[in-house]
């Protein structure tokens, strides 16, 4: 094959590639409608007369079709369960972190009420005590209960 033809063929293949890349399923349709020319020759005309480009097109299409049929492996239930178990570990450590933050906040609030709001010296002070204690118990219940529920679900 002379150099001139080789350049022509590779340009034809560039155009064919664009068609193939655009809509792999309707290559033939698009090829028939394709009015692009290379050196004054329509791509479809070149294809009819050039064995090499015909081969190229057939081989490319076969490869692409074959790729769709390559076997795919199923994922075992064991792998799925292992993924879900790991996710559950992450989730529970997140909740633990969260519960520590809530505990720390509750303790800080409790200490604040005790040390800085003149606790025990007035009725109001005792009221603060109770509010602090109530907050702690309430928060503890709030974070402990959903965890139990989510394990059941």
Residues binding other proteins (CB under 8 A): 1, 6, 9-10, 17, 21, 52, 55-56, 58-60, 62-64, 66-75, 79-80, 82-84, 86-88, 90-91, 130, 133-134, 137-138, 141-142, 145, 149-150, 153
The widest CA-to-CA distance across the chain, in whole angstroms, is 107
10 binds, among Zn ion, other proteins, none (CB under 5 to 8 A by kind): other proteins
For residues 107 and 140, give the distance between their C-alpha atoms in angstroms, rounded to a whole number.
11
50 binds, among Zn ion, other proteins, none (CB under 5 to 8 A by kind): Zn ion
Pick between residue 57 and residue 128 the one whose CB is nearest to Zn ion.
Answer: 57
- The distance of closest approach from Cβ of residue 42 to other proteins in the complex, given in angstroms and rounded to an integer, is 21
Tell me: does residue 9 bind Zn ion (CB under 5 A): yes
- The distance of closest approach from Cβ of residue 28 to Zn ion in the complex, given in angstroms and rounded to an integer, is 18
Residues 101-140, one symbol each (x = binds Zn ion by CB under 5 A, - = not), give: ----------------------------------------
- The distance of closest approach from Cβ of residue 127 to other proteins in the complex, given in angstroms and rounded to an integer, is 9
| DSSP per-residue letters across the chain | --HHHHHHHHHHHHHHHHHHHH-GGGHHHHHHH---EETTEEHHHHHHH-HHHHHHHHHHHHHHHHHHHS--PPPPHHHHHHHHHHHHHHHHHHHHHHHHHHHHHHHHHHHHHHHHTTTTSSHHHHHHHHHHHHHHHHHHHHHHHHHHHHHH-
Q: Which residues bind Zn ion (CB under 5 A)?
A: 9, 50, 52-53
């Amino acid at each position: 094959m002379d150099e001139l033809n080789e350049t022509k063929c590779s340009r034809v293949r560039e155009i064919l590639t664009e068609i193939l890349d655009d809509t792999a399923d309707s290559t033939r349709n698009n090829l028939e409608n394709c009015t692009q020319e290379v050196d004054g020759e329509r791509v479809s005309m070149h294809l009819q007369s050039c064995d090499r480009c015909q081969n190229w097109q057939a081989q490319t299409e076969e490869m692409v079709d074959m790729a769709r049929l390559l076997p795919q492996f199923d994922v075992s239930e064991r792998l799925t369960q292992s993924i879900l178990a790991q996710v559950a570990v992450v989730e529970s450590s997140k909740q633990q972190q969260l519960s520590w933050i809530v505990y720390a906040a509750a303790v800080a609030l409790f200490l604040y009420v005790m040390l800085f709001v003149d606790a025990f010296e007035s009725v109001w002070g005792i009221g603060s005590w109770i509010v602090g204690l109530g907050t702690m118990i309430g928060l503890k219940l709030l974070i402990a209960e959903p965890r139990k529920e989510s394990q059941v679900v």
